[in-house]
Amino acid sequence: MSILNESELLLQISELSVAFAGFAGIGTALGEHINPKERQVDAGRLTNMLIVSLSTAMLALVPFIPTLFGLEESSAWRIAGVSALMVMAVFLPGIAMRAKRMKRYAGYSTRRNVISFGLAAFAASSFLSCALGFPLHHPSATYILGLAALLLISSILFFSVIVSFLRPHAPD
Q: Identify the pLDDT of residue 151.
A: 94
Q: Identify the pLDDT of residue 29.
A: 63
End-to-end alpha carbon distance in the chain: 46
Q: Identify the pLDDT of residue 2.
A: 42
Q: How far from the centroid of its chain's Cα atoms is residue 142's Cα? A: 15
- Digit-by-digit pLDDT tens for the chain (172 residues) are 345 587 888 888 888 888 878 777 676 666 555 566 677 787 888 889 889 999 999 999 999 999 889 999 889 999 999 999 999 999 999 999 998 998 887 778 889 999 999 999 999 999 999 999 888 778 889 999 999 999 999 999 888 888 777 766 667 6
Q: Identify the pLDDT of residue 102.
A: 87
Q: Identify the pLDDT of residue 1.
A: 36
Q: Which of 78, 79, 75, 76 is nearest to 130 (CA)?
A: 78
Question: How many Å apart are CA 42 and CA 36, to the nearest integer?
Answer: 9
Burial 20-49 (b: 16+ CB within 10 A, else e): bbebbeebeeebeebbeebbbbbbbbbbbb
Question: How many Å apart are CA 24 and CA 166, to the nearest integer?
Answer: 15
Q: Strand, helix or coil at 136? A: coil
Domain range list for the chain: 6-169
Q: Identify the pLDDT of residue 94.
A: 93
CB contact at 8 A, 161 and 22:
no
Q: Identify the pLDDT of residue 93.
A: 95
